[in-house]
Structure 1
Amino acid sequence: MDEVGEVGRDEELDGSAEHVGSPAGVGPAADVGRWFATATSRPLDGPGPARGGPRLPAWGPMDGAPYGLRSHDDEIAEALALLRDRPVAVLTGAGMSTGSGLPDYRGRDAVPRTPMTYQEFMGHDLARRRYWARSTVGWEQFRRARPGRAHRLLAALDPSAFPVTSVITQNVDGLHAAAGSAPVIDLHGRLDRVRCQQCGALSSRIALHQRMLSMNPELAARLPELAADAAQAPDGDAEVDRTSSFRYPPCALCGGIVKPDVVFFGESARREVVAEAFAALADARALLVLGSSLTVQSGLRFVRAARRQDKPVVILNDGPTRADAEATLRVHGRLEDVLARWAAAVGAIP
């Protein structure tokens, strides 16, 4: 498998998309991970084996993992010194958006869930009904999510501490761009867009949301009630999960299946996007990883590419990562705390 080729089941929505809390004055955002969770362990087509690809195991906090560690002040300062004044490519995961109220798959507070695969979404009408019903209920909450302190601090560090060749994010929430980081490479796409799987046409998720509300007036009338029910039933037993009568539209241009413009488990990232991310890494002299467990190949390959290029790798995460042994420096702690210390050290507090 070459670096810009197919990654198959190693791809992930990390967003995407390692989250807790919400910005001041805003209620908790929708649990986007649940939109992409398999609603039932039973076959979607009745008796017999499920079609459309194998189910993935449930994701959740790592058993026995050491969460809550904090690196010594000297280690935090050493990491900044290593990155200081050199072009840095930044790779981010779901931990960046916990402060914006977007729950994750692998953090210590994550609710275990079995991810929906691309094959399941494309192969089962009922899976698509469940996905679109969930996301319709949660969309207005998700749209209210705003950049958290970690997003703002990272934007302020460029170029005060180091110039950023690009923020390569596995998240799908658009919050890096909203915080002022640029350029941003959305490795796994964006939830505010939808793409036809037949003709490739892109369109707005906001417009699709309004159309689905008009097609499902009973759900639209109960939106607040269903949103509250979904928030209280994170194990996939919310009433909306049983809305098998939910209607969703085909592509207006060709009649094909419309899918959120994000990478599902079992799906490949777009080749041109991956190539752009590797180009950003090539232009850098170091790689900084923020808030990703690097569980899947989608993010891990950038760490390994940086090491092959003899570029230092700094990993900052609360909890273990798959690349801990490959990091030049491994920093433990909450992103907001460590980034704030770096920003204070260079006079870049936003």
Structure 2
Amino acid sequence: MIKHAEQLAEFIHSHPKLVVLTGAGVSTDSGIPAYRDQKGNWQHSAPVQHKEYMESHYARQRYWARSLIGWPLMRDAKPSTAHYALSKLEQMGYIQLLITQNVDRLHQHSGSEKVLDLHGRSDKVRCMSCAAYYDRKDIHNQTAEANPQFEIVAAGARPDGDADLESEAFADFTVLDCEACGGILKPDVVYFGDNVPKESVFNALDVLQEADALLTVGTSLMVYSGYRFCKKAKEWNKPICALNLGVTRADELLSLKLDAPIAETLGGAVEMLQNQR
């Protein structure tokens, strides 16, 4: 583990203008499950698809019912050692931009400021018709009040505020509509099958083009929205380091692969870099 921390510290020291790309592995120590295992395979059934959510009232009933159980885990999660280590790297001047595929806002809660929420944020809800925004806490509380018959049961946590639960009670679940126009409400998150806003991608690529290297942390890069940054870094001859337990889609593109515990390795590297100053 010390060796991996030394290798990471050397990579950062040699490439002091970094773009960092993070995934679910950064937040697992905060109690939020990852989508995939160390081989890159789904650990759960596939998450809700954008098209299904928008076209099926039952899909929305199922989502919001399960959210009553699952979302408080994300709402109450605290930053991990890994989040604080990355925040420290930003304070030390190494991180030009932190692109996160996570929607939990834990990077911001740990003090990071140069953050791009690539897949949106789970703490906000948006109307898909008029674009009105709501606080997720308010929608969560109002949904619970609108469904007093729905029994909150213990269920296994899933990524992004979902829960492992199937129930006939979903069919009677009341889903809130937009107060302003009656439109469909959806967490301000890019669901599978939807597209990341182009402006976000272009802005991130502009920073990457000026950076010394790309560091990916806690992501298998199986989703193209994150993998694209590795492809571009390779195209632009930017070194790429991946810190992740298990395989990544970009293994063949990497300059350095660190298959090691994320929090311990990051924390050790930050300590070494501080001691060098």
Using structure 2 for the length normalisation, give the TM-score: 0.90
Structure with bigger strand share is 2
Question: 2:237 aligned with 1:307, yes or no?
Answer: no
Do residues 231 (structure 1) and 160 (structure 2) align? no
Structure 1 Cα separation of the partners of residues 215 and 168 of structure 2:
38
Match of 2:204 in 1: 277
Residue identity (%): 39
Question: Of 119, 131, 136, which aligns to 1:205?
Answer: 136
Q: Identify if the C-alpha distance between structure 1 residues 307 and 193 changes in structure 2 by more than 3 Å, giving closer, same or farther.
A: same
Task: State whether residues 133 and 241 of structure 1, in contact with CA within 8 Å, keep that contact through their aligned partners in structure 2.
Answer: no
CA contact (8 A) 2:21 2:216 kept: yes
Is the 1:133–1:240 Cα contact (8 Å) retained in structure 2?
A: no
Instruction: Report matched runs for 1:1-350 at 5 Å.
Output: 73=3, 76-84=5-13, 86-108=16-38, 111-160=43-92, 163-219=94-150, 222-223=151-152, 226=153, 228=154, 230-231=155-156, 238=165, 240=167, 242-347=169-274
Q: Find the aligned partners of 1:172 and 1:332 in 2 and give their Cα distance.
A: 24
- Residue identity opposite 2:49 in structure 1: T
Q: Distance in 1 between matches of 2:242 and 2:74?
A: 28
Alpha-carbon distance in structure 1 between the residues aligned to 2:53 and 2:186:
8
Alpha-carbon shift at residue 183 of structure 1 (Å): 1.0
3-state SS of paired residue (2:193): coil
Off by >6 Å, runs of 4+ in structure 1: none
Distance 1:241 1:317, change over 3 A: farther
The Cα of 1:209 is off from its aligned counterpart by: 1.2
Q: Does the 8 A contact of 1:95 with 1:291 survive in 2?
A: yes
Displacement after TM superposition at 1:313 (Å): 0.7
Post-superposition shift, 1:241?
A: 6.7
Q: Deviations over 1:190-237 (max 9, x none)?
A: 000011111222221111112112211122xx43xx1x2x13899x76
**1:155 and 1:180 mapped to 2: Cα distance?**
6
Change in CA separation of 1:312 and 1:159 when aligned onto 2, cut-off 3 Å: farther
**d(CA) in 2 for partners of 1:275, 1:120:** 28
Please report how far the alpha carbon of residue 307 of structure 1 lies from its aligned counterpart in structure 2 after TM superposition. 1.2
Letter of the structure 2 residue corresponding to residue 170 of structure 1: Q
- Larger displacement relative to structure 2 (194-203 or 78-87): 78-87
Alpha-carbon separation, structure 1, partners of 2:81 and 2:42:
20
Quote the RMSD (CA, aligned, Å). Answer: 2.4
Give the whole-Å Cα distance in 1 for the aligned partners of 2:42 and 2:106: 20
> Which amino acid is 2:7 matched to?
E
